[in-house]
Amino acid sequence: MASREKIAIIVALVLFCICFEVAKCFSQRLYLGAPNTTLLSRFCSNEKTGDGSRYPVAVGFMLLEILNTAMKGHNYYTTTHFFGAIVYGHGACNGQLEQLNCNDCLNAAEEALACDSSVGAQVQLQDCRIRYENYPFIE
């Protein structure tokens, strides 16, 4: 019976150590994956859309597509068509970020854009960036 108690104690200690290490790794992973949303740069095109233009609506759809796709990858190009208005967009995150944190970073980048009526803009945060233009591009 003493050997069964020893085995039970050893198993309990091993399970405790495994659980402790898993919890420690999980908490470090969450911390390390948190996005750094420090603004590094923002550029807005001097070229503006006209009154009644559908381009700002197309920009909005393009940004939604980038944010929705951030849950699937860290680097995404898109083209959005809206009643003749065409917007080319790109969103990218630091590859070390978890997908949810990538999405959080791109949301912060979208909020930092603040380029009303510009036909092109880009914002670079520490861990992600968004760019859109009225012409195709590759970064």
pLDDT at 99: 87
Q: Which class is domain 36-133? A: alpha beta
Residue ranges of the domains in the chain?
1-33, 36-133
Residue 37, pLDDT score: 96
Looking at residue 72, its pLDDT comes to 78
- pLDDT beyond 90 at 70: no
In 3D, which of 93, 69, 65, 67 has the Cα closest to residue 79? Answer: 65
122 confidence band (pLDDT: 50, 70, 90): very high
0.95 exceeded by pTM: no
How far, in Å, CA of 64 to CA of 9, rounded?
Answer: 54
| Secondary element (H or E) of residue 75 | strand 75-82
Whole-angstrom Cα distance, residue 124 to residue 118? 17
**Res. 44: pLDDT tops 50:** yes
